[in-house]
Structure 1
Amino acid sequence: MNTFMIIDDDITVVKMIGSLIKKHELGKVVEELYSSEHAVKEVLFYNPDILLIDYLITPMDGVSVIQILQERGYYGKIIMISQVEDVPMISKAYHQGIEFFISKPINAIEVVKVIKNVSYSLELERSLNKIKSALSSVVHSSINIEEQEYTIKNILMDLGIIGELGCQDLIKVIEEVKEFKKKNSQTTYRLQDIYEKVVNRNKKMKNDSNEKNMKSFEQRIRRTIQKALENLAQLGMDDYYNPIFIEYASLLFDLTQVKQEMKYLEGLSHDRGRINIKKFIEGILTKINM
């Protein structure tokens, strides 16, 4: 059973949504708040599976609350409640990771439908994690240590980006990070420092300014990883249980952003899924060190 938390300064809205959740047996409401003053603390305490929050709640607006929550490790699903119709504001909310909007005035049918959709998304993710766990157990019990070793190129081939312009640059960056972590196990790295080391080693690039080199280098890396996200999202659209999709979707990317890329490819959104270069690199290093 999913747990819910509702934050809205309109008590009627809060009670109506809570009543619908109970009536349709969608889950359990663990807390209700009528301002955002203590929202971050309360959400982190209750850690609800699904958070419903008003966009224009005070003293801190809903998007700001979500941003802080995600920075502090909250991974629940988020539904935004609002009368906002401004496209940039709505886009900002989606970029922050919300799943759906519920428009005011509240429509009971819409509320139930949206919550069911988000709950279904949660169940898919849970099933995906179970499948990954099961596959991992089978793999580890049936192959020897040598066969468990994955090369960087194997993974990039799986993702369909081995022939991309920035692929070799990406491999060099991953290898550089791997070496850094071997020598500095207690120290974190900055991607810009890694880029500089790789760029400075490339003698062919020394004729141009370092600033120009760095910018074009980072752009190639970013485009290559974006292409990996596109390819993976396409696999997921064709078959959500594709082994490559299951293996890499959550390892290398944020699942929310993979779904956003799917929406973009389906023509349901103008916004692409976002990539996190560091998460991508760390995911590959995790895979090759298994």
Structure 2
Amino acid sequence: MMNTFLIIDDDVSVRKMLGYLIVKNNLGKVVEELGSGEHAPEEIIFYQPDIVLIDFLLPQKDGVEIIQSCRSLGYKGKFIMISQVDNDNMIAKAYESGVIFFIHKPINKIEAINVIKGVCQNLQLERSVAMIKDAVFHIEQEKQVNGQENWRQQITPIFTDIGIIAESGYEDLTKLIGEIISLKKKNKSSNYQLQDIYIQIAEEESLLHNTTIHARTIEQRIRRTILKALQNIAALGNDDYYNNKFVEYSSVLFDFKQVKQEIKHINNPKEDRGKINVKKFVEGIVSKLNF
């Protein structure tokens, strides 16, 4: 099934470049281009594109406001944010609105293609899962009873690929992802606060080991583990920009800009290290699991 795209950016050259990359790489079809956010929600609802590529800062309405409007109107498609914004609060606001995929300006063709391909693969996986569930619902029910931990088998090769299978925070990260999967099984669009899950894991660990473990400790172990994954992926990209694992994971699990920053640090320790976003990482992992 060919994916449909709607592109919103006030820079016509950006719209044309993204449209060209989509067509050139057989990623789908652009059904509409918009140069402002004035009527964007109405156009998105009308065209119902599979994927919307939307600029963060737009005339009339900004990208986050448009996304929130579309969600309130029932739009279920994917959003990819196009941004040259470095303000952490503004980026956090975008993540809170549901955006987990970013393409940074000035546009890097490799990053853009990798991000769009990743979203397309995510969509294809969702469709495949939906078709299977519709066709063999009774089998899926049996799997839910007998194989509820199947996602753990899927996560092992991913964690092996990114080099964190032996990290001390591996189990904490796995528990975090497990809790998020449980929430998504009940409601795919479920909103959650990571801090609430850290507290829950800490309480369970405290009972299990008969000692007091703080949520902050859980959070720190998880962040250190994800930072290690960032370092490993950046090292792969530094050696070979077209390494299969680097291509597969660099944009899905991390902000690609931060991966590039970590590569700069590898080559010059005086450069700042790359940063992580825990929610983007875990959502990226979850998007790769069939549960």
Q: Give the TM-score of the pair, scaled to structure 1.
A: 0.53
Structure 2 contact 53–79 (Cα < 8 Å) conserved: yes
C-alpha displacement at 1:216, in angstroms? 1.2
Counterpart residue number, 1:191: 197
Cα deviation, 1:113-132, whole Å, max 9, x if unaligned, reads x4966764467648988xx9
Q: 1:57 aligns with which of 50, 56, 59?
A: 59
- Amino acid of the residue matched to residue 278 of structure 2? I
Gaps of 5+ in 1: 82-86, 103-113, 133-147
Cα separation, partners in 2 of 1:73 and 1:236, compared to 1, 3 Å: farther
**What is the correspondence of 1:76-155 to structure 2 with a 5 Å cutoff?**
76-80=79-83, 88-89=86-87, 92=90, 96=94, 97-101=101-105, 114=107, 120-121=113-114, 125=118, 150=153, 155=158
C-alpha displacement at 1:257, in angstroms? 2.6
Cα deviation, 1:33-78, whole Å, max 9, x if unaligned, reads 54x34323423543375635472522x3334435766896543544
C-alpha displacement at 1:23, in angstroms? 11
Output the CA distance in 2 between the equivalents of 1:44 and 1:20.
Answer: 24
Counterpart residue number, 2:229: 228
Structure 2 contact 52–77 (Cα < 8 Å) conserved: no
- Amino acid of the residue matched to residue 231 of structure 1? N
Counterpart residue number, 2:209: 203
Gaps of 5+ in 2: 95-100, 126-150, 266-270
Structure 1 contact 80–101 (Cα < 8 Å) conserved: yes
- Amino acid of the residue matched to residue 30 of structure 1? E
Counterpart residue number, 1:111: none
SS in structure 2 at match of 1:150: helix
Cα separation, partners in 2 of 1:117 and 1:43, compared to 1, 3 Å: farther
CA RMSD in angstroms, aligned pairs only = 5.5
- Amino acid of the residue matched to residue 228 of structure 1? A
SS in structure 2 at match of 1:205: coil
- Amino acid of the residue matched to residue 254 of structure 2? Q
Cα deviation, 1:155-199, whole Å, max 9, x if unaligned, reads 544432233232343455567x49x95xx9647786246414422
Structure 1 contact 44–74 (Cα < 8 Å) conserved: no
Structure 1 contact 6–29 (Cα < 8 Å) conserved: no
Counterpart residue number, 1:259: 256
- Amino acid of the residue matched to residue 61 of structure 1? D
In the alignment of these two chains, the number of paired residues is 239
- Amino acid of the residue matched to residue 262 of structure 1? V
Structure 1 contact 6–32 (Cα < 8 Å) conserved: yes
Output the CA distance in 2 between the equivalents of 1:272 and 1:227.
Answer: 11
Output the CA distance in 2 between the equivalents of 1:23 and 1:152.
Answer: 35
Counterpart residue number, 2:39: 38
Structure 1 contact 40–68 (Cα < 8 Å) conserved: yes
1:274 aligns with 2:277: yes
Output the CA distance in 2 between the equivalents of 1:157 and 1:21.
Answer: 33
Cα deviation, 1:86-131, whole Å, max 9, x if unaligned, reads x7549845984542336xxxxxxxxxxx4966764467648988xx
Output the CA distance in 2 between the equivalents of 1:69 and 1:226.
Answer: 34
Percent identity reads: 24
Structure 1 contact 235–242 (Cα < 8 Å) conserved: no
C-alpha displacement at 1:30, in angstroms? 1.4
Output the CA distance in 1 between the equivalents of 2:91 and 2:169.
Answer: 31
**Structure number, greater radius of gyration:** 1
1:215 aligns with 2:236: no
Output the CA distance in 2 between the equivalents of 1:63 and 1:124.
Answer: 22
C-alpha displacement at 1:80, in angstroms? 4.8
SS in structure 2 at match of 1:263: helix
C-alpha displacement at 1:265, in angstroms? 1.8
